[in-house]
């Protein structure tokens, strides 16, 4: 192993991929591949975290790297460039139809962060996330969506007319639209769901929005509000099933692009209201240490990283989580949250009861019929107990194994 004792939770592949990420974002020359790592392992790890197209810019400058290895990573950049171009054309067609229907939209997540990367193809494009609605101005300032159900049905007609298939329409705060070969449009009715702690803050998702141009149906958040949502979105995934190291790259890019002009007192006040100020501070410190000071590069060079044990744990958690988190994290985090509540029953029992009998608000996300007919709740419970184990048995068995192992 090439690691110091403070980084022993990380494999050499994890240390090296993090080092490559830092070198891409800072322009530093990367160190050679360490003996305990492999190009195959590093590539798989980068792919699991959606950072192959980011790290590729550093791989091409690694001393002694073979042309074939450079080509493998560069191919990811080329594929991403093609995906970006396809999504741009497709999004323009969708927005044109939304214009005709009078539906406003506000780009989110990667569509916002990706613009701030030194080169847009550095950030892998998984999907497009867009808040939509018929936004009307409020007398006290800001906007509010009206006729939400009718607007959702109108957008459904538009998307189906453009060849998309709806996945889970009406379930939750986001309607997914899929279309071959690569398109996944996540169209948000609202930015949060009632079951999360920060629902009240985003209950009116358009309150802090503003038109991107006068008379346009294109909306945007201010730099400050866009940053707050970036943190809220990351925190949600981090606390649920985990968030990969692409979030560190995103954080670095936004800090470099926005910090000098951002009204930090306002941002801090919003994050305190959301209960996310500590998460943001930890993420910011981790990003500065891992990217700006290249802590993993220092370890590879045989030097002290200058990073605390807590930050190493946070980095390891993110590397292991991958882009979409893990079932292991989901169960473990939920058990921890149940234990913190200390309601008299054991956390395992409360977890099981919550999974078998979720509250009405949560079930309404997956069973929209309960929004109109909440009296059907007992029937939905019965359906979940009798039918769901046969429909989604593999995931259920995996979840039970994780739950059992959590006691060891």
pLDDT 10s digits, 172-184:
899 999 999 999 9
**Portion of the chain with pLDDT greater than 70, in percent:** 81
Is omega for the bond preceding 181 within 30 degrees of 0, making it cis? yes
Q: Which of 157-171, 173-187, 225-239, 360-374 has the lowest mean pLDDT?
A: 360-374
Average pLDDT over residues 322-349: 69
Full-model pTM? 0.88
Q: Is the pLDDT of residue 364 over 70?
A: no
| Residue 61 DSSP symbol | T
Q: Is the pLDDT of residue 109 over 60?
A: yes
Average pLDDT over residues 200-225: 96
Q: Which tokens belong to 86?
A: 């396809």
Of 104, 84, 85, the C-alpha closest to 94 is 104
So what's the pLDDT on residue 347?
Answer: 63
Q: Is the pLDDT of residue 388 over 70?
A: no
Q: Are strands 174-179 and 183-188 parallel, antiparallel or unpaired?
A: antiparallel
Q: Is the pLDDT of residue 350 over 60?
A: yes
So what's the pLDDT on residue 240?
Answer: 86
Q: Is the pLDDT of residue 255 over 90?
A: yes
Q: Which residues share a beta bridge with 186?
A: 129, 176
Q: Is the pLDDT of residue 225 over 70?
A: yes
Q: What's the Rg (C-alpha) of the chain?
A: 23
Write the CA distances from 116 to 23, 45, 111, 256, 293, integer angstroms. 17, 24, 10, 9, 21
Q: Is the pLDDT of residue 368 over 50?
A: yes
Q: Which of 70-74, 217-221, 271-275, 305-309 has the lowest mean pLDDT?
A: 305-309
pLDDT grade for 370, boundaries at 50, 70 and 90: low
So what's the pLDDT on residue 235?
Answer: 95
């Amino acid at each position: 192993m090439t690691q110091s004792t403070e980084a022993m939770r990380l494999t050499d592949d994890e240390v090296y991929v993090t080092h490559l990420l830092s070198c891409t974002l800072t322009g530093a020359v990367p160190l050679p591949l360490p003996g305990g790592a492999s190009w195959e392992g590093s590539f798989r790890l980068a792919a699991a975290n959606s950072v192959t197209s980011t790290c590729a810019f550093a791989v091409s400058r690694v001393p002694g790297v073979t042309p074939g290895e450079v080509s493998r990573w560069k191919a990811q950049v080329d594929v991403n460039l093609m995906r970006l171009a396809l999504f741009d054309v497709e999004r323009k067609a969708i927005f044109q139809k939304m214009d005709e229907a009078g539906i406003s939209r506000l780009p989110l997540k990667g569509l916002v962060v990706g613009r701030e990367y030194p080169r847009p193809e550095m950030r892998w494009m998984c999907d497009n996330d867009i808040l939509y609605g018929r936004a009307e101005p409020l007398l006290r300032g800001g906007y509010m969506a009206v006729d939400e159900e009718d607007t959702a049905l109108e957008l459904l007609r538009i998307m189906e007319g453009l060849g998309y298939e709806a996945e889970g329409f009406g379930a939750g705060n986001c309607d997914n639209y899929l279309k071959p070969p690569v398109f996944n449009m996540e169209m948000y009715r609202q930015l949060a769901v009632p079951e999360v702690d920060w629902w009240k803050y985003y209950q009116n998702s358009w309150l802090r929005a503003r038109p991107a141009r006068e008379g346009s149906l294109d909306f945007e958040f201010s730099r400050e509000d866009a940053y707050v949502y970036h943190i809220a979105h990351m925190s949600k995934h981090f606390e649920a099933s985990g968030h990969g190291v692409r979030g560190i790259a995103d954080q670095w890019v936004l800090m470099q692009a926005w910090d000098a002009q951002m009204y930090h007192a306002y941002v801090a006040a919003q994050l305190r209201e959301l209960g996310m100020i500590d998460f943001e501070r930890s993420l910011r410190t981790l990003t500065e240490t891992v990217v700006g000071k290249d802590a993993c590069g220092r370890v590879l060079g045989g030097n002290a990283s200058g990073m605390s044990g807590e930050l190493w744990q946070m980095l390891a958690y993110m590397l292991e989580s991958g882009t979409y988190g893990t079932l292991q994290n989901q169960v473990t985090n939920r058990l921890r949250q149940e234990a913190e509540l200390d309601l008299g029953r054991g956390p395992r029992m409360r977890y099981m009861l919550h999974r078998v009998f979720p509250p009405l608000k949560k079930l309404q996300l997956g069973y929209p019929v309960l929004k109109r007919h909440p009296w059907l709740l007992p029937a939905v419970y019965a359906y979940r107990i009798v039918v769901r184990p046969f429909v989604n048995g593999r995931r259920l068995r995996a979840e039970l194994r994780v739950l059992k192992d959590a006691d060891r």
